[in-house]
Chain A
Amino acid sequence: MHIVVCIKQVPATLDVRVDPVTHNLIREGTESVINSFDENALEEALRLREKFGGTVSVISMGPPQVREALRKALAMGADAAYLLCDRALGGADTLATAYTLAQGIRRLAPFDLILCGRHAVDADTGQVGPELAERLNLPQVTMVKKLECDGKTIVAWRECEEGTAVWELPLPAVVTVESKINTPRYPSPIGIVRSAKKPLTVWTAKDLDVDEDQIGLKGSPTRVLRLFSPQRTSHVEILPGEPEEAARALVAKLREQKVL
């Protein structure tokens, strides 16, 4: 099996600052990590490889410092890493990102499965996985909390609001995963030592056979018009009376608000 895992490097802290002019995330000076859901995707890929053999490739688009995230992925056990890195790719929204990743992944063909995290914890869109499936014309399931595979088809348990949907898909397919699916391993010391000898390939826009109008800022129709922090208001109401009486009133209120 050849499994491709898409990873994104994100700021280590959730205390993300936003540039007031460009509305982009300020990444300078913050420590970066692999998006946690993407680590789940990688872990699932490594487990499938342990079962079926084959190779796991990780791919990411971003600035040169993303090498560090890819290096960690290699240390965790991925076989090869690809970084799509070019100034021309900068400023991409999810559409341009998915297009560029798809062009990169086409170069990795043949592959059986593409795994992504359900969303990145910095921008929270969850769009790149599904867009990638559309670009590559592959079936997809998102937010998967359990995955079974016989080497030809996969059965995916998808988290829904009021239950679980179970899907069966032919391979190749695109799957985005939840954190519940597994607990990612830590890179082992020997994994770190061996990762130094594993290939980490950097591809520029030229290497990718891309339409220049569809990459980077130029290929990104999304415009952030305004950014604001959510207004948090709290309303306190004292329920008077004896405890029993107050409790009854509280339950009634909670029912009214559809909490219960």
Chain B
Amino acid sequence: MDFRLSEELELWRKTVREFTEKEVAPYDAEMDRANDLPWDIVRKMSESGFFGVPFPEEYGGAGMGSLAAVITIEELARGSASVALTLDAHWLATDPIFMFGTEEQKKKYLPDLVSGKKLAAFALTEPVAGSDAAGIMSTAVRDGDYWILNGTKAFITNGGAAETYVIAVKTDKTKGARGISTFIVEKGTPGFSIGKKEDKMGCRGSVTTELILDNCRVPAENMLGKEGEGFKVAMVALDFGRVCVGAMGVGCATAAMEAAGRYANQRQAFGGPLAKLQAVQFKIADMAMGIEAARLLTYRAAWLRDAGQRYTTEAAMAKVFGAEVAMSTCKDAIQIFGGYGYTRDYPVERYLRDAKLLEIGEGASEVLRMVIGMNTLKELA
């Protein structure tokens, strides 16, 4: 067993860290206030090849695999959870096209998505169905060489900003999960529009909107995967997405711990720095342990994926644990900052607002605990 990263991954981590420190982190507070996607940063990420990290060279990527992808997200999240989320959501839609797309679909869509010339969004959640994903109500009805899509999608990250959407709808209302199919829908398709933009608590530098399908005619060749295979497409996509969210948790928690640690070393109280107080040391210790454990869970889940093994349970573990470590670390970081931590003059309150999303999106902690519990019990039976 060797925990060292390859020279290649170390160099990439350093590169993303340098990029994040110079190009991303200084703008995180501003994008939070503006509640808008920082297109300049997205363009720079595209120019520097960020979007293609996990995809093969054949489609314009670097073929560096899932571990490199996870490191990218982690390092970006240290500077901005919003920017990391934008990339995570982009991959959540790009990856299923790579995994399930026909050769024609891959040739048509992947080059622009892998280069980051266009953004992508993945749409499963609806106003009436989040965790209960099989309960979605949107439909698609066949009409010759087309499918007619109807319904509303909710809380779609990259909504409006994306040019390419992977949308899950029911093609057979009589069935649950097996009645779902996924379609690739391009922005500008008649009948497809962007709905309300959410005014979110955190991750405000990423955009989240509703999507409205009103008799949207989509060519039959845009179906992604087979008819009725949509739930599987979504679950495969979400497995990878969850590892990325785990990595966001690691990055976000690291940023909070670094801020709290710096403050604790400087701030004087009771005749010395806060760092001399055991109550503060214990908080930092819990942060450091949580981050280390979350990082290892995340890296191992990515490693399993790269090794071609099943990793659904591990992905769920990485996501739940990473999200919860981020929440507890940000909460304690604010406590160390005291009154200052509760103000917008310091970043830790923003980190906490960002971290909360990680317990909700791409599989709420409760649903993922069900997945982990059921799978573990199955192994114990």
A residues neighboring B (CB under 8 Å): 68, 71-72, 75, 185-193, 195-196
Evaluate contact between A186 and B11: CB separation under 8 angstroms: no
Asked if A191 contacts B8 (CB within 8 A), the reply is no
B15 touches A190 (CB 8 A): no
Q: In whole Å, how far is A69's beta carbon from the nearest beta carbon of chain B?
A: 11
A71 in contact with B19 given A189-B64, A190-B57 (CB within 8 Å): no
Given the known A-B contacts A71-B11, A196-B8, are A189 and B53 also in contact in the complex, defined by CB atoms under 8 Å? yes
Determine if B146 is an interface residue (Cβ-Cβ < 8 Å). no
CB atoms of A193 and B15 under 8 A apart: no
User: Given A185-B48, A188-B48, A72 and B62 touching (CB < 8 A)?
Assistant: no
Complex Cα spacing A196 to B11, Å = 11
Q: In the complex, what distance in Å separates the CA atom of A194 from the CA atom of B166?
A: 32
Q: Report if A189-B18 is in contact (Cβ < 8 Å); known contacts: A71-B7, A75-B11.
A: no
A72 to B7, CA, bound (A): 11
Determine whether the beta carbon of A192 is less than 8 Å from that of B12: yes
Q: Is the CB of B11 within 8 A of A192?
A: yes
B49 contacts A190, CB within 8 Å?
Answer: yes
Interface string of B50-66 (1 = CB under 8 A from A): 10110001000111100
Please determine whether A193 and B8 come into contact, CB atoms closer than 8 angstroms: yes
A189 lies within 8 A of B57 (CB): no
- Of all chain A residues, the one with the shortest Cβ separation from B57 is A190
Contact at B68–A189, with CB atoms within 8 Å? yes
A187-B12, A189-B52 given. 19 additional CB < 8 A pairs? A68-B11, A71-B11, A186-B15, A186-B18, A186-B19, A186-B48, A188-B62, A189-B49, A189-B50, A189-B61, A189-B64, A190-B49, A190-B61, A190-B62, A192-B15, A193-B8, A193-B64, A195-B11, A196-B8
Which B residues touch A189, using CB under 8 A? 12, 49-50, 52-53, 61-62, 64, 68
Given contacts A186-B15, A187-B11, contact A193 B48 (CB under 8 A): no
Contact B62 A187 (CB under 8 A): no
9 example contacts (A-B, Cβ-Cβ < 8 A) are as follows A72-B11, A186-B19, A186-B48, A187-B11, A189-B12, A189-B64, A191-B49, A196-B7, A196-B8
What class of interface size applies to chain B in its complex with A? 10 to 19
Give the Cβ gap from B104 to chain A, nearest Cβ, in Å. 24
* Majority DSSP secondary structure for residues of A touching B: helix
Contact with A along B1-45 (1 / 0, CB 8 A): 000000110011011001100000000000000000000000000
Q: How far is the CA of A187 from the CA of B53 in the complex (A)?
A: 12
Q: Most chain-B Cβ atoms within 10 A of its Cβ — which of A68, A185, A188, A191? A: A188
Measured CB to CB, the closest approach of chain A to B132, in angstroms, equals 38
B15: chain A residues within 8 A (beta carbon): 75, 186-187, 192
Which residues of B lie under 8 Å from residue A72 when comparing CB positions? 11, 14
Residue of chain B at shortest CB distance from A72? B11
B8: chain A residues within 8 A (beta carbon):
192-193, 196
Q: Is the interface of B mostly helix, strand, loop or mixed?
A: helix
Known: A193-B62, A193-B64. A188 touches B49 (CB 8 A): yes
Residue of B nearest to A190 (CB): B62
CA A71 – CA B53 in complex, angstroms? Answer: 19
A193 vs B7: C-alpha distance in the bound complex, in angstroms?
10
Cβ distance B117 to chain A, nearest Cβ, rounded Å? 15
CA distance A203 to B219 in the complex (A): 61
Alpha-carbon separation in the docked complex, A72 to B8 (Å): 10
Residue with the highest number of chain B CB atoms closer than 10 Å, among A71, A187, A192, A196: A192
Closest chain B residue to A74 by CB distance? Answer: B11
Contacts of B49 in A (CB 8 A): 188-191
Complex CA distance for A72 and B11, rounded to whole angstroms: 7
Interface centre among A186, A187, A188, A196 (most CB of B within 10 A): A186
Q: Are B18 and A193 in contact (CB under 8 A)?
A: no
Expressed in whole angstroms, the Cα–Cα distance for A71 and B12 within the complex equals: 11
A193 adjacent to B63 (CB under 8 Å): yes
Kindly name the residue among A72, A185, A187 whose own CB sees the greatest number of chain B CB atoms within 10 A. A187
Give the residue of A68, A71, A185, A192 whose beta carbon is less than 8 angstroms from that of B62: A192
Report the minimum CB–CB distance from B40 to chain A (whole Å).
13
Docked Cα-Cα span, A156 to B19, in Å, equals 30
A71 CA / B68 CA spacing, docked (Å): 18
Query: Which residues does chain A contribute within 8 Å of B12, judged by CB atoms?
Result: 187, 189, 192
How many angstroms from the CA of A193 to the CA of B63 in the assembled complex? 8
In the assembled complex, the CB of A7 is this many whole angstroms from the nearest CB of chain B, namely 15
**In the complex, what distance in Å separates the CA atom of A196 from the CA atom of B19?**
21
Contact B19 A190 (CB under 8 A): no
Which one of B11, B48, B50 has the highest number of Cβ atoms from chain A below 10 Å of its Cβ?
A: B11
Residues of chain B from 213 to 256 with CB closer than 8 A to chain A in the complex: none
Complex contacts, A191 vs chain B, CB 8 Å: 49
* A195 to B8 Cα, complex, angstroms: 9
Instruction: Give the CA-CA distance A186 to B72 in the complex, in Å.
Output: 14
CB distance from A22 to the nearest CB of B (A): 29
**Closest beta carbon of chain B to A195's beta carbon, Å:** 8
- Nearest A residue to B51 by beta-carbon distance? A189
Please name all residues of chain A whose beta carbon is closer than 8 Å to the beta carbon of B62 when the two chains form the complex: 188-190, 192-193
Query: In the complex, which residues of chain A have a beta carbon less than 8 angstroms from the beta carbon of B68?
Result: 189
Report the minimal beta-carbon distance from B222 to chain A, rounded to whole angstroms. 29
Contact partner of B52 among A71, A187, A190, CB < 8 A?
A: A190
From B19, B48, B61, B68, name the one whose CB has the most chain A CB atoms within 10 angstroms.
B48
Nearest CB on A from B7, distance (A) = 7
Q: How far is the CA of A195 from the CA of B62 in the complex (A)?
A: 12
CA distance A186 to B76 in the complex (A): 15
Task: Please name all residues of chain B whose beta carbon is closer than 8 Å to the beta carbon of A185 when the two chains form the complex.
Answer: 48
CB neighbours (8 Å) of A192 from chain B are 8, 11-12, 15, 62, 64
